[in-house]
Structure 1
Amino acid sequence: MTDSDSGFVGFVKAFARRQYFWGIVAIILLLVVNLLKDPTYLAITVSGSGNLVGNLIDILRAAAPIMMIAVGMCLVVATGGIDLSVGSVMAVAGAVAMEFLASAGGSVASAFGALGLVILVSGALGLVNGLLVSVVGLQPFISTLILMLAGRGLAKVITGGQNTAANNEAFNWIANGRVLGLPVVFILALIIVIVVGLVVRRSALGLMIEAIGMDAKAARLAGVNRRALLFAVYIVGGILAGIAGVFATASVMTVDISRTGYQLELDAILAVVIGGTSLAGGKFNISGAAIGALLIATLDKTVVFLGVSSSATPAFKAIIIVVLCLLQSERVRNLIRRRRTVPDVTKEVVPV
């Protein structure tokens, strides 16, 4: 074996040890299953307007809002917390945007105004979570559960209990527009993921977030401002959830209070776990969370494509996620390795 072969093999082995490796494998297997049913499943065509059209493009578009909330969830979980309110924040963000656009008209300035208002309101909701966790001292589960329940009520107050629609081409372009044939919504999500990843990994911020997740007391003694960091991650999580709400509502220019963001907090948590972030805190992986979001979107599309009944869909998803998490488990993999290397002691040893 040449040195180049050894280097390549070493790279492959190192990559295979990453927890999100199995997420990539799962995406490939799901696509293969879909190909077996329809050999043209992965076909991508160019429409008359020059846009790329196909199932893969639909998966990328569906993954964008999940990527947003998964990245925010990733940072929150790294501190040892959890955010159950992201789905409700999406509904509030959609309600704010649609109500604003319904009265502000269809100009480009109105679209930017709606985006700014969404960021402000969703950041404020994240601030509430940070306040309850870091200042009041409530458990993150309880704090975000409060906003999870209250958020949809707030969205109903904003819209008067009605599904609100609006017309604004610039705002609609965010979800349905294309750049170089690719969905704008996915490009924006990818840019945000890259920016957040660079900020937390190219600075000491990521290390400090992991430090308070591993040992908050030791981090405080080392001079880490735990309270400020908790405020920051919950505000960022709220803003990213608000952006996800924009992605979800801009595609149809209507906010459905009861459905927008419904149970997406569960998908975000699954994406984070698939990506290799420990729910115990102290470790996070932004790129892994993005891959987990792509897997969730692929799985959702596969369920629909295979015609799995709506009543069996949760069980179908649960089985795949459980198998994937078992494959990622270091304890399970070590057990398999030991079973392979344990000698056969059942054979009788004959003395010489």
Structure 2
Amino acid sequence: MTVSNPPTPAAPAPAGEVLLEVTDLKVHFPIKRGVVVDRTVGHVFAVDGVDLAIRRGETYGLVGESGCGKSTLGRAILRLNEPTGGQVVFDGTDVARLKGEQLRKSRRRMQMIFQDPMSSLDPRQPVESILLEGMHAHGLDRDKEATARRLRELLAAVGLPESSLRKYPHEFSGGQRQRIGIARALAVEPDLIVADEPVSALDVSVQAQVVNLLEQLQQELGLTYLVIAHDLAVVRHISDRIGVMYLGALVEETGSQELYENPLHPYTRALLSAIPVPDPVIEDSREQILLAGDLPSPANPPSGCRFHTRCPWRQATLCDTDRPQLREIGGGHRVACHYAEDVRDGLIQPHKVEPELVEAASVNPDAAAPDVGSVTEIL
């Protein structure tokens, strides 16, 4: 993918300008079983104790394997999935405690760009109706002339002609549909946009256009982004800071350049080693980490460090018994690993990991072969 040269990064926002702060956020989905009366036989721990803060005007990238809970976290921040516990403080207000009209009004300032641009747009509505829906819900379409001007501005901002207003979603390409999704999010003048895999369903050439568009809109409108993705190249290009998620929790968080140059958590090292390098000499000589075994079930996560079943640096003490907390190593670099410094300094050497397969019975302890869907479907 080819992208334009990134703009000169803005100065970091002062510590007091935190727009979104998430504290110990949890989203647990109950596993139900029964014929006449449903009973809860377990829970899927999709998000289990996440702490993060996003400053006003920055882009925070969230990466991890499929099924780690990234999308669930983004939806829980917007209350599209109800949090089981924790706080979501947006501009001084705990969104997790809002109800009714207060919650509806707060959503004007927090919008989402969904992963699949086709399924997220109503195929029975023209673009004009799609863009007007949110404006009407928040009383932003009272002046007919001003509303028409606003619609033209939205389309111009995302690079679509005015004639698009009369067309339906199926008449556009994938990249154009994603631009309509971005225009819909911008229609209510939000402060925060959660972009859930905004380019994963697009061709590589179109991905670059959408990524550059998001950066341009951020500069012009002062937007704050939470970008959820699994494409590490996209995240590196667009993000100011990056959080790495594994099985419902953050395992590492730091600035974009620092993460790629100095990864401290073993899981982050494994992710980065999977990025191919076009130079065959470097590719053959660099560290490559292949994770053994399956991703553990979020319905029955391992004790202690949740990565210890697949970790090449696993130690006999602490890893199996004590869950590491996300702690700061220095310079805003946070990592959830008991032995991060020893791994960094080469005091602990990687070893072979025996793969551990996830059995079906571990998902539902009350049944041998439960039908609860795959990890990705659940999350």
Name the TM-score class by shorter chain. Answer: under 0.3
The answer to which structure has the higher helix fraction is: 1
Higher relative contact order at CA 8 Å, sep ≥6: structure 1 or structure 2?
1
Relative to the length of structure 2, the TM-score reads: 0.23
Greater strand fraction, Structure 1 or Structure 2: 2
